[in-house]
Amino acid sequence: MPTNRSVSDAAITQFVNCRILRDHRLQREDLWVREGKILNPEKLFFDEEGFADHQVDCGGRILAPGFIDVQINGGYGVDFSRAADDVSKGVGLVAEKILEHGVTSFCPTLVTSPPHVYHKVLPQFSIHEGGPGGAGVLGIHLEGPFISREKRGAHPEQYLRSFAPGGLADLLQVYGGLDNVAIVTLAPEMPGSLEVIRQLAEHGITVSLGHSVADLSQAELAVQHGATFITHLFNAMLPFHHRDPGIVGLLTSDQIPKDRTVFYGMIADGIHTNPAALRIAHRAHPAGLVLVTDAIAAMGLPPGRHTLGQQDIEIDGLHAYVAGTKTLSGSIATMDMCVRHFLQASGCSVEAALEAASLHPAQLLGISHRKGTLNYGSDADFVLLDDELHIRKTYIAGQQVWRK
């Protein structure tokens, strides 16, 4: 076959004998990769007269975009909210381990902490692409301390804050800066919150509503000012009530700006949310569902006592409680477990379950032009799964970074 490598001399890999998740359905196609990007085979054949240097036989399995976890507090003994001297080492350990769960990028999440912890820890995080050493970091998720005392969950009450008149200046004082921050979770009913939401959105930071006693009108105002996400729907918010459905009502609100989608996180671990509630949310607003693990340091560790930020946590089976209480405090579920549980509990399609862990979080963060899909030109971050949705291999930039 004649060749014309005028565009690039880099090697081309062709993944064959696979079902690719593209355009919301599994299709029997090959996947072509060069220099970490997904290629359009028509352009390759007709414009470049190119060919594959390597072929990978996928054995008839599913190729789906790599999973994106936008709320993960740590794992394997690492707690992102602890003022460790070497944060990058802890992030690196978690990033490496979650490749096994199909996660190719994530947002390390910090729970409510005193200002000196933020000032020490935040500058040590960096946004970077993933690779053989681990999943990529898309930015930090700051969950608190501007949240409701009544719905604080496992967040320590003594460090909670309300907004000072300075708006964003107050946040900068508490956090020390917003460099590398991707998401901020706050309670929209707090005085001064709307101005903060507007300013954060203008800075390109995703604002999430959570740990809140907001009614529906307060939640709708927050969305109109720029909020686009709900932190772990149903958990740490007012329960649904038919006369005022609270934040949950955003899923079917008619007051959402036409150009905006409200996304919502779900911890599909079988513990945080009853399967019926999971089904209600998914059927009401399927396009907004984002699977999150909300995993804590105890993920991947044996039962016993561990930490979450400034609190002690006890692990009992798949339950994680604030020590000495029955207050849930994050999960020890992995992302692939959540995908499988969501599929089984909701009765949704395989495609919908996979997109809730890939396409939807990418859309939430505004990066679906390069992550969360297998479209031409996207980053070649993907997972190979069997029909039961167990991860067999994980790829970042077209390179295999984990295999079972």
Residues with active-site annotation: 294
Which amino acid is located at 149 in the chain? R
Nearest to 125 by CA among 92, 72, 88, 89: 88
Of 37, 103, 99, whose CA–CA distance to 66 is shortest? 103
Chain-centre distance of CA 396, in angstroms?
17
> Contact, 299 vs 283, CB < 8 A?
no
Cα–Cα distance, 62 to 390 (Å, whole number): 10
Cβ atoms of 122 and 176 closer than 8 Å: yes
**φ, ψ at 224 (rounded to 5°):** -65, -25
DSSP for 267-279, please give it. --SSSSS-HHHHH
Distance CA 395, CA 384 (A): 8
User: Cis ω on the peptide bond leading into residue 145 (within 30° of 0)?
Assistant: yes
Find the DSSP H helices in 191-320.
193-202, 216-224, 275-284
CA-to-CA distance for 163 and 263, rounded, in angstroms? Answer: 24
- For residue 149 the two structure tokens come to 């005392």
Q: Phi and psi at residue 330, in whole multiples of 5°?
A: 80, 180
Distances (CA, A) of 14 to 31, 38, 53, 55, 380: 6, 10, 8, 5, 12
Distance CA 215, CA 187 (A): 11
Closest listed residue to residue 238, CA positions, set 267, 220, 214, 222: 214
Q: Residues 6 or more apart from 71 whose CB is under 8 A from it?
A: 107, 109, 141, 143, 183, 231, 232, 265, 292, 293, 294
Tracing tokens 């804050």 back to the chain, one arrives at 161
Give strand ranges (E) for 111-180: 136-137, 140-143
